[in-house]
Chain A
Amino acid sequence: MAKKIAVYGDVPAKVHVRQRYWHVRTDGIRQRYWHKTKRTKIVSKSKRWEIHGKGKALYKATVIAHGYLPKEDFTTISADKLIENPEKYGERGEWLEKPEVEYE
């Protein structure tokens, strides 16, 4: 496989809030279970593009990857395909900024 440019970072993602509910089991014991609720919250999630290609196409694809967040968590794609149809593989948005690391 060819060499690839990895464009990665944190993106805002909508996830269902999970909540614990009491249930009565068939054997009569009450137990708490985790359930997905309808409520959603926005969390930060790590996603990445893996782009392979050549020269100008690779550069253009990287620029597009900078402006588009991938729909899947991990997207390996050729530069030409991403340039042709970026909406198919990603959606417009901004990457979240990394928290600053303190040095000693």
Chain B
Amino acid sequence: MEKEANGLKNQKLNTNKLKCVLGFSDEETLKLDFDNVSFRTAKYWCQRACRQFHLEGFIILKSSPNHYHAVFNKPMLSWDDNMKYVAWVCLWTKYRRLTEWLIMQLIKKCSTLRISPKGDKPMPRVVYRYGRQDKKIKEFLDFRNKIKRIYRNLLKLQSNTTKDMSVETIKNHECYVQT
């Protein structure tokens, strides 16, 4: 009964999914990706980083069991500034997966967090809030809602139209996403 109630199982049953993944990407929001880490540990490191660098607040999103994303409230002045904090967490935690994620973000020159479902994993959902949420967290959540709306519209579009959708059909599609 617990498994059915936690929401994970319900989303797994939804077979109508997109093959590509939608994510949020920018340079000024401090984000962390904890893989194979318990919620307690993820929360500990987020709180420690928050106190150490006065990051004002953070939210933790659960992407799948033992996989968490963290977003901090304080706006970063530059990309270098942003990566400085992530590197600090990597250095102290010694998590290999987090370090690999950092390296990938350094190659891309912008950090990305997943918003839409991926394979069997559901959409990440907010599980913990700490401190202030009025700056970058608010922007992140607003943009996340926008992407979620786009995702839902894409699903509708996918089920309604045939595979050979012409460019004109896409361009003239009437669905409108409010800003």
**Contacts from A to B (Cβ < 8 Å):** 1-9, 50, 54-56, 58-60, 62-67, 74, 83, 86-87, 94-104
Contact = CB atoms under 8 A, between A and B. Distances in A.
B159 interface: no
B178 A55 contact: yes
Nearest to A7: B20
B27 A1 contact: yes
Nearest to A94: B19
Contact of A58 (B64, B119, B170, B177): B177
Interface in B130-158: 139, 143, 146-147, 150, 153-154, 157-158
Contact of A4 (B110, B153, B177): B110
A5 B170 contact: no
Interface of B: 8, 18-28, 64-65, 108, 110, 112, 118-121, 139, 143, 146-147, 150, 153-154, 157-158, 163, 165, 167, 170-171, 173, 175-179
Contacts, number: 104
B65 A103 contact: yes
Contacts of B119: 97-101
B112 A56 contact: no
Contact of A96 (B19, B22, B153, B157): B19
B65 A59 contact: no
B141 to A, nearest CB: 12
B22 A7 contact: yes
A1 B26 contact: yes
